[in-house]
Amino acid sequence: MPVLLQSLITRRPTSSSIAFLRLRKLPQDKIENSSAIIRSNLLRTINRAQTPLLAIHIRPDGDALGAVIALALYQKARGQEPKIFLPEKEMAFIPNIFKKIIEKKGLEVVHEIAGQSYQDVILLDTPGSHRLEEPVRKMLEEASGTVNIVDIDHHLGEKLMAPAEKSLVSAKVSSASELLFSILPQDQVSQSMARCLLAGIIDDTTNLNFMVKTETRTRVKQLERLAGISKEETYVSLRALTAADQDLSAQAIKRAVTTSINGYKMTWVAVSQEELTDHHANWRRAVEEQIGFSTQKPDIVLVMYYDTKKNVYRGGLKAYNNGEGLDFRPVAKAISDGGGHPGAVGFNLPNHDPKNPAATVDMVAKALRKESI
Ligand SMILES: [Mn+2]
């Protein structure tokens, strides 16, 4: 065996290699890190950054958007020049409630980073660097050490993306929006900022049905006052629900039926072709998540409905509560060559009789049992 290899294998740590290990910056996990010192650290950096880049996670949800837009509004009002990074392709998916504020307040959104250098980067609602948009991740990797990174997040367990003293991480809040609200000076939260923060909390909590923490309700009440709009109105505009959607959702939820499958609680609801008009658009997600996040705590939600675009009855299975972790893909495949994600699948129901939805439920239940769910 070559001497070098031999020495590598048999090497014992010397005193200098131990010192090296101690000095080396080991990757640290995101743990609760929200002391008063961290909060004031964060606010100081937020207040000082002259032209920061603000970035959020890929495929941003309402919480990420609400938090990043609220922060941009706050900094802009103080005379700073924040830039929000959002890929061009995401622009079409930004809910109107946010789009209007970006336009009305003239917030700067950038789609590229190439060539630009930023002294400060503020990350929001992003669990780890694998959830950053590619250009942002690349820039942070290349500029390692020279960029001042700040992180505001409510996901624990992933790797830190900023130094611990610049990472405000807390799971005592519902959302990044709530966390940001908790550090901003109350008298500097404008109506537009409040609308964004409220929308962020309502999106992550599905209208306060999920992840509600000790102070969430109080903060939502404060934000409703500052925003001059209720959480219900916010939920409706976030989900882009029409009046017809709201009526249908309410009716559908009332008639939902719960049954048991191999120890899992499955709640189902059926919506027929006759119930749907041109005024219905986004009712399905509202029905499904309001059932899923309800106090009944079903593990599986089955929605059977007429798909007005595909002109066929379809079914959707979604996992909630104890059902999280189930894989419905084999079931969707078996029913009618359907598919999707493990916990959320769709499939055609060519033999569905809207007058007898229970028969379809039996068929789906059989398929679920057969795939040993
Ligand atoms: Mn979030």
Domain ranges of the chain: 36-238, 243-370
201 C-alpha to center of ligand 1: Å? Answer: 8
Cα–Cα nearest to 92, from 67, 123, 116, 60: 60
- Given a contact cutoff of 8 angstroms between Cβ atoms, the answer to whether 96 and 129 are in contact is no
Cα–Cα nearest to 315, from 356, 366, 357: 357
192 C-alpha to center of ligand 1: Å? Answer: 19
- Given a contact cutoff of 8 angstroms between Cβ atoms, the answer to whether 306 and 313 are in contact is yes
- Given a contact cutoff of 8 angstroms between Cβ atoms, the answer to whether 348 and 314 are in contact is yes
60 C-alpha to center of ligand 1: Å? Answer: 9
Q: Tokens 């917030």 map to which residue?
A: 107
Q: What is the DSSP letter of 14?
A: P
What does pTM read for this prediction? Answer: 0.83
146 C-alpha to center of ligand 1: Å? Answer: 28
CA dist 12 and 18 (Å) reads 10
106 C-alpha to center of ligand 1: Å? Answer: 25
Q: Tokens 């550090």 map to which residue?
A: 183
CA dist 16 and 34 (Å) reads 35
Domain 243-370: CATH architecture, name and number where available: Roll (3.10)
Q: What is the pLDDT of residue 295?
A: 87
Q: What is the pLDDT of residue 54?
A: 98
254 C-alpha to center of ligand 1: Å? Answer: 29
Q: Which residues of the chain have pLDDT under 50?
A: 1-24
Q: What is the pLDDT of residue 27?
A: 61
Q: How far is CA 316 from CA 2, 203, 265, 283, in A?
A: 62, 21, 16, 13
Q: What is the pLDDT of residue 26?
A: 52
CA dist 313 and 338 (Å) reads 13
199 C-alpha to center of ligand 1: Å? Answer: 11
Q: Tokens 């929605």 map to which residue?
A: 303
61 C-alpha to center of ligand 1: Å? Answer: 7
H-assigned helices in 206-267: 216-227, 231-238, 243-254
296 C-alpha to center of ligand 1: Å? Answer: 24
- Given a contact cutoff of 8 angstroms between Cβ atoms, the answer to whether 150 and 46 are in contact is yes
Cα–Cα nearest to 368, from 320, 300, 308: 300
Q: What is the pLDDT of residue 18?
A: 47
CATH number listed for the domain at residues 36-238: 3.90.1640.10
Give me 31's structure tokens. Answer: 């743990």
204 C-alpha to center of ligand 1: Å? Answer: 6
